[in-house]
């Protein structure tokens, strides 16, 4: 039986940052990913003007996302909802949840991963996409049948943010300020229920991220700290409710009923 994870995010590359390492650990198994992206990121930067124009950036970024998943190496099904980049929050949650549910209804993924209420960087598109994905998850689960066993919020533990900030200060650098727009913010460590060590597939994840060529490279973080940030993918278990003190799962598919 094919296990499926749905990655429901706002922009091409959100999915790569959040779950590419996790999925790379399942290459060669009967596991697939369904990627649902609310926007095609057409308002984003163009790191190299030879790669795209503001007019075609959305289509280019869709292709980059497809290419990034080829690099990860698991079978992928893409759904591009093509809402305006920067305007996801203007779409009624009910309507966006309906679009997401439509994309997931047939495949009935076992696990859905999306953004939590802090949206990793506080980006309004992220927050709105996560809210609608949550609504879609519960709607489809209530319909009964297979799948929809676990809802995960990809997020950054506060402990990771603190470690990173200490590294920055040691180098005389100013750490990212979580109160600034589009800067990463932490979530209390005790809220996490899944922590995936992706260090063995770090290079693969890095290559997948590099397929998002128009987005350039993470310039805010010194390169030797990248593995610290990208080599682990952490998730809050939004559903089912996690018992206090329950062991941290090491994989998004761990312990699912067969």
x-marked contacts with Zn ion along 44-73 as a string, rule CB under 5 A: ------------------------------
Q: Residue 32 Cβ, how far from Zn ion at the closest point, in Å?
A: 23
14 forms part of the interface with Zn ion (CB under 5 A): yes
Show contacts with Zn ion in window 205-224 (CB under 5 A): none
Give the Cα separation of 253 and 5 in Å (integer): 8
The stretch among 5-13, 60-68, 100-108, 234-242 that binds Zn ion (CB under 5 A) is 5-13
The stretch among 10-18, 76-84, 105-113, 219-227 that binds Zn ion (CB under 5 A) is 10-18
The stretch among 11-19, 20-28, 181-189, 203-211 that binds Zn ion (CB under 5 A) is 11-19
Q: Residue 7 Cβ, how far from Zn ion at the closest point, in Å?
A: 12
Element (H, E) at 155: strand 150-157
Judged by beta carbon, residue 20 or residue 253, the one nearer Zn ion is: 20
CA dihedral 182, 24, 159, 41 (to 10 degrees): 10
Give the Cα separation of 28 and 151 in Å (integer): 24
Output phi, psi for 26, to 5 deg.
Answer: -110, 10
* Structure token pair of residue 183: 């800067």
Q: Residue 11 Cβ, how far from Zn ion at the closest point, in Å?
A: 4
Q: Identify the DSSP state of 175.
A: P
Give the Cα separation of 106 and 83 in Å (integer): 22
Judged by beta carbon, residue 14 or residue 118, the one nearer Zn ion is: 14
Q: Give a three-class secondary structure readout of 234-247.
A: EEEEEECCCCCCCC
* Structure token pair of residue 140: 């489809």
Q: Residue 14 Cβ, how far from Zn ion at the closest point, in Å?
A: 4
The stretch among 3-11, 17-25, 68-76, 208-216 that binds Zn ion (CB under 5 A) is 3-11
Q: Residue 146 Cβ, how far from Zn ion at the closest point, in Å?
A: 30
Kindly report the CA angle at 69 between 24 and 9, in degrees rounded to 5? Answer: 95
CA-based nearest residue to 18, from 29, 33, 31: 33
Q: Residue 10 Cβ, how far from Zn ion at the closest point, in Å?
A: 5
Judged by beta carbon, residue 14 or residue 42, the one nearer Zn ion is: 14
Residue nearest to Zn ion (CB): 11
Q: Residue 215 Cβ, how far from Zn ion at the closest point, in Å?
A: 10
Q: Please name the residue that has the structure tokens 């940052």.
A: 17
Judged by beta carbon, residue 10 or residue 76, the one nearer Zn ion is: 10
Judged by beta carbon, residue 44 or residue 109, the one nearer Zn ion is: 44
The gap from C-alpha 231 to its chain's centroid, in whole angstroms, comes to 14
Maximum distance among all Cα pairs of the chain, rounded to whole angstroms: 55
Any bridge partners for residue 151, and if so which? Answer: 112, 239
Footprint of Zn ion on this chain (CB under 5 A)? 10-11, 14
């Amino acid at each position: 039986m094919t296990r499926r994870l749905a990655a429901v995010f706002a922009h091409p590359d959100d999915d790569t940052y959040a779950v590419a390492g996790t999925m790379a650990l399942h290459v060669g198994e009967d596991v697939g990913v369904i990627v649902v992206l609310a926007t095609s990121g057409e308002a984003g930067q163009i790191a190299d003007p030879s790669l795209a124009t503001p007019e075609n950036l959305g289509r280019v970024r869709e292709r980059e996302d497809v290419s990034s998943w080829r690099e990860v190496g698991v079978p992928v099904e893409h759904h591009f909802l093509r809402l305006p980049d920067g305007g996801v929050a203007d779409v009624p949650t009910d309507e966006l949840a309906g679009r997401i549910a439509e994309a997931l209804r047939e495949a009935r993924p076992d696990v859905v991963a999306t953004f939590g209420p802090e949206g990793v960087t506080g980006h309004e598109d992220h927050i709105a996409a996560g809210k609608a994905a949550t609504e879609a998850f519960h709607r489809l689960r209530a319909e009964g049948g297979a799948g929809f066993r676990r809802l995960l919020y990809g997020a950054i533990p506060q402990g990771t943010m603190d470690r990173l900030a200490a590294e920055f200060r040691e180098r005389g650098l100013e750490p990212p300020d979580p109160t600034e727009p589009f800067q990463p913010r932490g979530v209390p460590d005790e809220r996490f229920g899944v922590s995936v060590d992706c260090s063995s597939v770090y290079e693969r994840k890095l290559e997948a991220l590099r397929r998002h060529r128009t987005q350039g490279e993470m310039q805010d973080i010194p390169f030797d700290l990248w593995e610290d940030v990208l080599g682990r993918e952490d998730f809050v278990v939004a559903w089912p409710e996690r018992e206090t003190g329950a062991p941290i799962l090491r994989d998004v598919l761990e312990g699912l009923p067969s």
